[in-house]
Structure 1
Amino acid sequence: MHSVPLYVIGQLQPVMKSQLEEWQAAGSVKFPADYTAFLLQYGLGSINELLMIDVPDPDYMALNFSDYLDFWELTETDKTELMKGLTVPTTIDGDILVLTNDDHTPFMLLPRHSGSIRRFPDFNTVIGDYINRYALGTDIYFDPYAGYAQEYISFIIDNKLDKKLFDKVHEALLANYRFDRTFNAAIQPKYILQSIGGWVYADAVGKSAIRVKYQQAFATEAAVVIDFIKSKIAALTS
């Protein structure tokens, strides 16, 4: 069973058992118990905008890497498994995770920046490896793709980045909203608002933008937050 605890943002849309069966049939690959449990509990989405859990793809490797498998140190057996496998999560850094029919280590990781493949016995171990590698600690969240929508608000005004404007709007946001949780607060804060099924992300390093992610079910509530940010920008630049 799935065992890594994840903080959930917004409303989940678990995968139906019938859909799981269809995905397995498409790749002729048996889903490990914990991977099945994850999809039935959480559905599709991302873990910390790092591990992107999407519809398993039986054609991804063949369409994109059939002529480039020499990127990695692979045996002929590895290559055969990859071509028959299902690409499951990919990562923001370009890693590829393929689910194969290997009985002991079904998950094969193809790193973006290394030729050495890695294999994992189950999906929990895959998640744990990324938690350790990126030092996520307990700040682990799941962001569902269900009803996903996003607003990008730029602080490039008249072709010039206005960092002071960003600071003022950022301060107003913090003064006027009480957030359910904050992730990565020391660098690039992501302020969780369960009332919109999403978050407000402040580019506190580059100070170039604020992103508001929400679920369509909460579009009215999200519009209030977006309008607040835009009205502050308008008031400070008029």
Structure 2
Amino acid sequence: MYWVSTQHTTVATDELTTFEHTYGLTFPPPYVAFLTRYGPGTYCGLLMIEIPDPQLLQSYADYELWTHDDNCPITAQQLGECVVIGSSIDGDFLRHSEIITTKTLDAQVPFTETLEHILRDEFGKMEPFPRYFEPVSPDKAATFLLFSPLDTTDAYNPAHPNEQALDFAPASIQVLAQRFKQHFTSNLWIENKHICMAFLQILGGYVRFNYAYGREVAIIYEPKAIALRDEILAFLQEEHCRVVE
């Protein structure tokens, strides 16, 4: 698993033990092991692993958001008693649906294996896919830019990048990403038809190219890496990107 940043806040075992005693429950050992080693954060950009929250679902108990029939594994009253330990990146538990389902957690396997089962079941993620964890960091900073491509007929084929196009102003955000790849050494490179993310360990973050929108570029970084952020920013500005204030 690639670790986006070493700036993280772990959860003390004593804190989780106290929580268990207070609420009369027992957390799965793999979940405890994950929080005490990595802390809260985002796994594979889709799942949020969170500090236990015993109150979050209480406000949902009185609303008919889910179907509680004979096939439902939990009653509406029990829903309000649940402790939230994770959610999807858009805030759903784990995905918006009228049906509540259960997920099996094997106490003998790492917590990441359970997360990957959820990714496959709920998001259709199939092997292989890059595993990365982005810890929650109060110091994390971001710079957002808009790419303004020139009017040109140069085409881009993601299977076979047109190297000739790289000699001119980038014709698309895909070409811009390829130029970035040639200029900066990435520790992890994730690319599909929707997005491209270049992870740099010394940046403590990544540069994100929004293929779906075609113009948005973001630099996610730690303040201590401001010099590299400035170098990346200068490169992107030379490539027809402007900062969004």
- Which TM-score band (shorter chain)? 0.7 to 0.9
Q: CA deviation at 1:26?
A: 5.8
Provide TM-score, normalisation by structure 1. Answer: 0.74
- Aligned position for 1:137: 128
| Alpha-carbon distance in structure 2 between the residues aligned to 1:25 and 1:223 | 48
Distance 1:169 1:125, change over 3 A: closer
- Mapping for residues 63-82 of structure 1, pairs under 5 Å: 63=59, 65-73=60-68, 78-82=75-79
Which structure dedicates a bigger proportion of its chain to helix? 1
Determine the structure 2 residue equivalent to 1:106: none
Change over 3 Å in CA distance of 1:200–1:234 after alignment to 2: closer
Query: What residue in structure 1 maps to residue 39 of structure 2?
Result: 43
Output the CA distance in 2 between the equivalents of 1:96 and 1:22.
25
Partner residue, 1:150: 142
| C-alpha separation in 1, matches of 2:39 and 2:180 | 31
Aligned-pair CA distance for 1:195: 1.0
Unpaired runs of at least 5, structure 2: 150-169
Match for residue 86 of structure 1 among 57, 79, 83? 83
CA distance in 1, matches of 2:185, 2:115: 30
Aligned to 1:225: 232
Residue type of the partner of 2:101?
I
Tell me if the contact between 1:198 and 1:213 (Cα under 8 Å) persists in the aligned partners: yes
Q: Counterparts of 1:167 and 1:79 in 2: how far apart (Å)? A: 47
| Structure 1 residue 145: Cα displacement | 1.3
Deviation at 1:171?
Answer: 4.1
CA contact (8 A) 2:193 2:211 kept: no
What is the alpha-carbon distance in structure 2 between the residues aligned to residue 156 and residue 81 of structure 1? 52
8 Å CA contact 2:68, 2:75 repeated in 1 = no
Q: CA RMSD in A?
A: 3.0
Output the amino acid matched with 1:31. F
Identity across the alignment (%) = 19
Return the alpha-carbon distance in structure 2 between the equivalents of residues 191 and 113 of structure 1. Answer: 33
Q: Which runs of 5+ in 1 are unaligned?
A: 1-5, 98-110, 158-162
User: Residue in 1 aligned with 2:155?
Assistant: none
Superposed, 1:73-222 pairs within 5 Å as: 73=68, 78-92=75-89, 94-96=91-93, 111-122=95-106, 123=111, 126-133=114-121, 134-146=125-137, 147-155=139-147, 164=171, 166=173, 169-185=176-192, 187-222=194-229
Q: Quote the offset at 1:33 in angstroms.
A: 0.6
TM-score computed with the length of structure 2 as normaliser: 0.72
Q: Partner amino acid for 2:234?
A: D
Q: Deviations over 1:133-160 (max 9, x none)?
A: 3225241111111232222212369xxx
